[in-house]
């Protein structure tokens, strides 16, 4: 029969690599715990309307990248392209805004974007993300960025740079939009068709266009950071102060606008050479725009595949999970059944063991035990069953230890 392949832009996460993403997720979750954050899980799909309104209908994500389909009830649904809009939807729908604030949450989620597939760019990828709702204080901006840096540092990433920018708020945006439109006016005809549409609706979006021609045109465009109001400027100064307190180095990059419409004030990116591993920022208007109260918010997303790739590029050896403590071989039917029961007892006491499920010969069993990296092996036969005495061979050096089948704790002690 003909083989069926996985869809373009997707990746199988194979068992031999499980320790890699577990390492990233576990590190992320452990750090989240020290910041007193709780986990949230939202559905894989949402009503399409959520992303049109939440992410913004002039963004690349909404205009080009969403997996949108009608279900059998003829509702338009979309596979989540990012985690923030769903988190905000759930925050509002479940009335979490009436609890004591701030709400600090994290998630690990797949995201789906119909992108041009290339190195580090998939159509299904995974994100670790956090959102903090309810605080407008610049200290929370500082905490969010510090948290991201801490996760990446704990993972073992080395050459990281943090870029920040100030995107202002709806008060400062109109002035800036006018200045930007004036600048872009003379090159209007050379903009890509999508950006021509953006010109009136949301000119700032043009700065994030990936088309070469548009990039060329916007190279010397006026920058939002020079047009922000006093409140936004003061906020940004304080965020920088908090970064200084923690001695987190940063650069101000007035060119970053990020790919989503919802950002206000602080935005940031963390890069490693060619790849952005983390992107985030403040989005003080989204909760209200999605039907909730007027409440500020800030968060980020970091790509799990990107983090793994970057760690490997840096030559970091991701720690493997614990090896198999004991391989239990057997000779004869009675001994095989005994090995089956023995394995069960050891496992229920938390010991990682393996037995023969392939009908292997004794010689092949030992070869296999070696291959899977078992620390100890033992072989059960009629004698062992009768005397209740077994020999445990340490694979590293061949040393033999004796154990009694009547004293499982002792055996665990030896193979641990």
User: Which residues carry a binding-site annotation for L-histidine?
Assistant: 82-84, 113, 127, 131, 258, 262-263
Cα distance between residue 415 and residue 41, in whole Å: 39
Segment near ligand ATP (CB under 6 A), from 121-129, 164-172, 193-201, 384-392?
Answer: 121-129
Q: Which stretch binds ligand ATP (CB under 6 A): 87-95, 119-127, 150-158, 288-296?
A: 119-127
By CB under 6 A, residue 180 contacts ligand ATP: no
Return left, alpha or beta for 265; rule: phi > 0 is left, psi -120 to 50 is alpha, else beta.
Answer: left
Per-position x/- string for 259-288, each x denoting binding to ligand ATP as judged by CB under 6 A, each - no binding: x----------------xxxx---------
- The residues, any chain, with a CB within 8 Å of residue 351's CB and separated by 6 or more, are 325, 326, 412, 415, 416
Smallest gap, in angstroms, from Cβ of residue 276 to Mg ion? Answer: 9
Per DSSP, the residues of 120-154 read TB-SEEEEEEEEEES---HHHHHHHHHHHHHHHHH
Which partner in ligand ATP, Mg ion, none is near 276 (CB below 5 to 8 A by kind)? ligand ATP
Which is it for strands 161-166 and 376-380: parallel, antiparallel or unpaired? unpaired
Backbone angles phi, psi at 247, to 5 degrees: 55, 45
Contact 161, 129 (CB under 8 A): no
Task: Check residue 80 for interaction with ligand ATP (CB under 6 A).
Answer: no
Structure-token pair, residue 225 = 């950071």
**Any contact of residue 301 with ligand ATP (CB under 6 A)?**
yes
Separation CA 168–CA 153 (nearest Å): 29
User: Which residue is nearest to Mg ion, using beta carbons?
Assistant: 259
On whether the CB atoms of residues 167 and 253 are closer than 8 A, the answer is: no
Question: Judged by CB under 6 A, how many residues of this single chain contact ligand ATP?
Answer: 19
Options 131, 305, 365, 384; binder of ligand ATP; rule CB under 6 A: 305
Rounded to whole angstroms, the Cα distance separating 405 from 407 reads 5
Please give the residues from 246 up to 265 whose contact with Mg ion meets the rule CB under 5 A.
259
CB of 209 to Mg ion, least distance (A): 12
The closest alpha carbon to 82, from 277, 280, 270, 255, belongs to 280
Among ligand ATP, Mg ion, none, what binds residue 150 when CB lies within 5 to 8 Å by partner kind? Answer: none
Nearest to ligand ATP of 222, 259 (CB atom): 259
Inter-CA distances, 346 with 78, 340, 353, 354, Å: 46, 10, 7, 10
Least distance from C-beta 143 to ligand ATP, angstroms?
19
If binding is defined by CB under 6 A, does position 88 make contact with ligand ATP?
Answer: no
The answer to the question of residue 385 lying near ligand ATP (CB under 6 A) is no
Compute the distance between CA of residue 193 and CA of residue 140 in angstroms, rounded to an integer: 39
The site partner of 277 among Mg ion, ligand ATP, none (C-beta below 5 to 8 Å per kind) is ligand ATP
Q: How many residues bind Mg ion (CB under 5 A)?
A: 1
Helix (H) or strand (E) holding 282: strand 275-282
Q: Does 205 bind ligand ATP (CB under 6 A)?
A: no
Q: Which residues bind Mg ion (CB under 5 A)?
A: 259
Binding stretches for ligand ATP (CB under 6 A): 82, 113, 115, 120-122, 125, 127, 258-259, 276-279, 301-303, 305-306
């Amino acid at each position: 029969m003909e083989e069926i392949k996985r869809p373009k832009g997707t990746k199988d996460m194979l068992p031999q690599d499980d320790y890699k993403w577990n390492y990233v997720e576990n590190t992320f979750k452990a750090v989240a715990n020290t910041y007193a954050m709780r986990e949230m899980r939202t559905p894989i799909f949402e009503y399409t309307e959520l992303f049109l309104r939440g992410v913004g209908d002039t963004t690349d994500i909404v205009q080009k990248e969403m997996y949108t389909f009608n279900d059998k009830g003829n509702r338009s649904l979309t596979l989540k392209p990012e985690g923030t809009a769903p988190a905000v939807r759930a925050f509002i729908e479940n009335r979490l805004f009436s609890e004591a604030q701030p709400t600090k949450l994290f998630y690990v989620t797949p995201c789906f974007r119909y992108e041009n597939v290339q190195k580090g760019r998939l159509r299904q990828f995974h994100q670790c993300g956090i959102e903090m709702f309810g605080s407008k204080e610049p200290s929370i901006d500082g905490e969010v960025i510090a948290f991201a840096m801490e996760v990446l540092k704990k993972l073992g990433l080395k050459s990281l740079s943090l870029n920040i920018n100030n995107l202002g708020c709806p008060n400062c945006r109109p002035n800036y939009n006018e200045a930007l439109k004036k600048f872009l006016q003379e090159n209007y005809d050379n903009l890509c068709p999508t950006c021509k549409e953006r010109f009136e609706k949301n000119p700032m979006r043009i700065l994030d266009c990936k088309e070469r021609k548009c990039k060329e045109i916007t190279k010397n465009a006026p920058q939002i950071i020079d047009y922000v109001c006093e409140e936004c400027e003061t906020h940004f100064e304080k965020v920088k102060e908090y970064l200084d307190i923690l001695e987190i180095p940063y650069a101000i990059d007035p060119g970053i606008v990020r790919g989503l419409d919802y950002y206000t004030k602080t935005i940031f990116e963390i890069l490693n050479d060619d790849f952005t591993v983390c992107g985030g920022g403040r989005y003080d208007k989204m909760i209200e725009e999605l039907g909730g109260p007027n409440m500020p918010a800030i968060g980020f997303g970091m790509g799990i595949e990107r983090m793994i790739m970057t760690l490997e590029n840096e030559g970091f050896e991701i720690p493997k999970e614990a090896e198999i403590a004991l391989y239990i071989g057997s000779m004869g039917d009675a001994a095989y059944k005994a090995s089956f029961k023995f394995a069960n007892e050891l496992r229920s006491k938390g010991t990682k063991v393996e037995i023969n499920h392939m009908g292997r010969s004794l010689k092949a069993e030992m070869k296999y035990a070696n291959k899977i990296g078992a620390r100890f092996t033992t072989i059960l036969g009629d004698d062992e069953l009768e005397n209740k005495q077994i020999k445990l061979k340490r694979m590293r050096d061949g040393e033999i230890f004796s154990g009694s089948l009547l004293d499982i704790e002792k055996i665990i002690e030896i193979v641990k």
